[in-house]
Amino acid sequence: MLTRIDHIGIACFDLDATVEFYRATYGFEVHHSEINEEQGVREAMLRINGTDDGAASYLQLLQPIREDSPVGKWLAKNGEGVHHIAFGTADVDADSEGIRDKGVRVLYDKPRRGSMDSRITFLHPKDCHGVLTEIVTAASAQAPGDSSGH
């Protein structure tokens, strides 16, 4: 069951400049930053608010580290802007399988590692009215010792 807007993923050319824009304009601060080699991005998570399922909603700012990464190719075509949206669930495995059973293309066979040791998958935007949609289970919602997606 999807219980929150987990994050909005925003692609940018210059992560540091974009982080500074969000800080200077709105006062949003970086909660976490990392490089995800598999996804081919540098990223910063800005925590915006807590959510009533015990988690939080973030902006995820993404700069490609390779031109041939999915975000790199998307940026070259579209320019800066909203790249994807993500819904949070306690069980990305069950929810993504349930969604696959409804005929929506799920892009990974099994969830992969996302920001902050979350486990994530993506749904094909053409099956979601044009919206690249991520499903995510936060690390804090995973069973202790669960590293099946890492």
Nearer to its own copies, 130 or 144 (CB): 130
Binders of its own copies among residues 98 to 117 (CB under 8 A) are 99, 102, 104
Residue for token pair 């919602």: 141
Q: Which of 35, 76, 82, 94 binds its own copies (CB under 8 A)?
A: 82
Instruction: Please state, in angstroms and rounded to a whole number, the distance separating the CA atoms of residues 26 and 134.
Output: 25
Q: Which of 33, 36, 73, 85 binds its own copies (CB under 8 A)?
A: 85
Both tokens of 19, joined, read 């982080």
Rounded least distance, CB 88 to its own copies, Å: 8
Buried residues in 123-140 as b, exposed as e (16+ CB within 10 A): beeeebeeebbbbbbbee
Our finding on whether 5 is near its own copies (CB under 8 A) is yes
Nearer to its own copies, 51 or 113 (CB): 51
Instruction: Please state, in angstroms and rounded to a whole number, the distance separating the CA atoms of residues 112 and 124.
Output: 16
